[in-house]
A and B are shown apart, each in its own frame.
Chain A
């Protein structure tokens, strides 16, 4: 740290490379979990490979380790770049980095040994919750002071989203983890579920989503070399995302005995989420209008473009599946697992990867090691994820429709067995994509310096 801490952009680079590494580790734990669902005695009586302990490692490593890490890294580059200044403090950036990595590392270190708070997505024990909070508050502080030191008066939309994601998550995280109850990280009784799903949903909605949108708003105009289509659409998308998303966690509990007014709010606002999703996508796509081929031919742009298409799919699906009539079939089964994968890996993960391939060379001052490897990674991840989505959705429909018709759990399990095999196989494609990415990122860092013409701050998206 001591040597690199002074280098411009070193914290951003560290976040992005760590994201690549966690992506690889996360897929390994995903594979462990997938194997279990295919052959439950494959790792028989190996405590640290039991499904209930590997699954949270996979989930938390992917959210906090892979996607959040990579997108925060990108933000630490584009926020100062867009403000025509430097990050206020690289050292503070590194402190945020180290605390964030300690928290992510606690997943594979504690969960396999049954040290966990057990609430989905809020599993990190209190001391590591604290690490996340220190990291978030440090990032907020650093970014706000970077804004104060800006030489570009206007705040570009990517900056809004990056700042928003950090200050909102600094609120979402302690509430959702009930951090004022250190030992359990929970509240007694059913009300805990309201706190948990406020948190669980906003982890995606107010951390990954705004960071991913911010990154897309940064990368797309730069790759297509076109100005942003509309400032007004940017404003509408930003404020409606915040105003609507924060309310919709209740749609995870539609069939549980929570108050009906909370359910109503969550369904209505879930449907209304169509507004921020379509506004942002219209703005990004209209920005790229006429230059789509440029976006597609750029390896980073291709990832971001695909990420925005996943956003369309996951946004529409998310709204529709908040409806009680739909949830009767889709709740409690693999349909939702499919949805979660296209949200985290498809939408925010693809944009994170694309943004990293765009930003990493700029931030590190190195030429991208291999465009071809990025394209191969894209192909593997896309094929794997499309298959994943199809397989899990099909399995979920079989389960949901079966149960609705009175089929017992045990009767339905053999029906989804072949899908569990396919999902493990498709997961291997995604795992291969993560390894290629890590290799490419490391080789980039050790590779040739960037040429003068490609230097970072010359070309803004504005």
Chain B
């Protein structure tokens, strides 16, 4: 076969456009994209936020579709074709340096989101996201509106739940430490109350807990557990000051199960996220012991009711005295 100019140019164009027909024109003809059950249109603010999202290159680190094999944020809902109706552009992303955001709406309350945009490490010490403070509050509010819309009707449902709990949590905080801690305890299911931390607060466990605390908690609760982390100024209710717990233990004794439940489940309506996707059981028990020992000065680790100790446990005796015991 001899390659003539005609074969090269005309042949090249024909084969190319035949391919375009198969992978571009044909899909365009047969494409159907009815809105999914969760889809809803954007408000003006949300559309303005999407525009900021596109122009500032957010999609280089955040994807917007959840896959069948995913575990992290948004994993409750696999992406559907009808989720992207009228999005211009539907910006799916190619990297997950940050989490997938397709279902981010309602994961966090608005104030957490703003604190996060101003400096992501306010709320997430491990984040690699740039600070967006330079955009100014108007743009940050638009971005926040957009992120809170992600997930469509499902996002609205979650965001409304945040809004329902937020005033109650804020009122409880305004009532002072005793009322606040009582409110927090009341919203932990009762079976968790008399549950001590089943694992020993060994030096190694406390060091592991310290690491978890710095990586996940210090932004809001502060490095010394007094609730004065950099995110505090943005959050209402503000983060809990752990040292106040000393005078408000459940039954004057229990603390481990309460911590475990709150870290696992978060406190919807407040800046406190659930960590059950990020921290598995040992890490939560370790950070609970760390917070208890370092900030409350007491842990209920290895106190009654006791089960059979796990086989790894060293010989360890809880020498922490109950708060108030030495003062009496």
Binding site for B on A (CB under 8 A): 36-37, 40-41, 44-47, 50-53, 55-56, 111, 114-120, 144, 147-148, 154-155, 157, 159-160, 163-164, 167-168, 171, 175, 184-196, 198, 206, 235, 239, 242-243, 246-247, 249-250, 252-253, 255-259, 262, 265-266, 328, 331-333, 336-337, 399, 403-404, 406-411, 413-414
Contact = CB atoms under 8 A, between A and B. Distances in A.
A37 B88 contact: no
Interface string B1-45: 111110011001101110110111001101101000000000000
Contacts of B129: 40
Interface residues of B, number: 76
B310 interface: no
A142 to B, nearest CB: 13
B314 interface: no
A194 B92 contact: no
A195 B90 CA distance: 12
Contacts of B71: 403, 406-408
A425 B3 CA distance: 47
B61 interface: yes
B63 interface: yes
Contacts of B85: 188-189
B76 interface: no
Interface stretch (B50-58, B159-167, B168-176, B180-188): B50-58
Contact of A333 (B19, B56, B95, B130): B95
Given A114-B55, A250-B23, A413-B128, 13 more contacts: A40-B121, A117-B89, A118-B91, A120-B94, A163-B12, A189-B33, A190-B84, A256-B67, A256-B92, A265-B23, A406-B71, A408-B277, A410-B126
B90 to A, nearest CB: 5
Interface string B121-143: 10010111111011100000000
A168 B3 CA distance: 17
B60 interface: yes
B99 interface: yes
Nearest to A407: B71
A41 B127 CA distance: 11
B90 A192 contact: yes
Nearest to A232: B1
User: Sorted from nearest, which 6 A-B pairs have the closest CB atoms?
Assistant: A52-B57, A246-B19, A118-B54, A186-B89, A406-B71, A408-B278
Contact of B65 (A167, A257, A337, A403): A257
B96 A332 contact: yes
B69 interface: yes
A255 B67 contact: yes
Contact of A408 (B54, B58, B72, B90): B72
A407 B20 CA distance: 40
A172 B69 CA distance: 33
A255 B65 contact: yes
B79 A257 contact: yes
B81 interface: yes
Nearest to A409: B99
12 contacts: A37-B97, A50-B56, A50-B130, A111-B57, A164-B8, A168-B16, A171-B13, A191-B28, A193-B92, A247-B23, A249-B23, A259-B30
B12 A168 contact: yes
A173 to B, nearest CB: 12
Contact of B9 (A154, A167, A332): A167
Contact of B8 (A47, A111, A160, A252): A160
A167 B86 CA distance: 32
Q: Chain A CB within 10 Å — which of B19, B33, B121, B126 has the most?
A: B19
B277 A51 contact: no
B98 interface: yes
A256 B23 contact: no
Contact of A51 (B54, B57, B72, B121): B57
Contact of B130 (A51, A167, A246, A406): A51
Nearest to B25: A175
A338 B126 CA distance: 23
A265 B18 CA distance: 14
Q: Chain B CB within 10 Å — which of A52, A115, A184, A404 has the most?
A: A52
Contacts of A404: 69
Nearest to B56: A52
Given A50-B130, A239-B15, A403-B72, A247 B90 contact: no
A239 B8 CA distance: 10
Nearest to B63: A332
A50 B55 CA distance: 12
Nearest to B68: A255
Contacts of A193: 90, 92
B109 to A, nearest CB: 19
B15 to A, nearest CB: 5
Contacts of A265: 22-23
B89 A148 contact: no
A160 B52 CA distance: 43
B141 to A, nearest CB: 17
Q: Chain B CB within 10 Å — which of A120, A184, A194, A409 has the most?
A: A409
Contacts of A256: 65, 67, 79, 92
Contact of B86 (A144, A189, A331): A189
Contacts of B81: 190, 257-258
Contacts of A332: 63, 93-96
Contact of A186 (B69, B88, B131, B133): B88
A213 B112 CA distance: 52
Interface string B276-308: 011000000000000000000000000000000
A55 B95 CA distance: 12
A160 B61 CA distance: 39
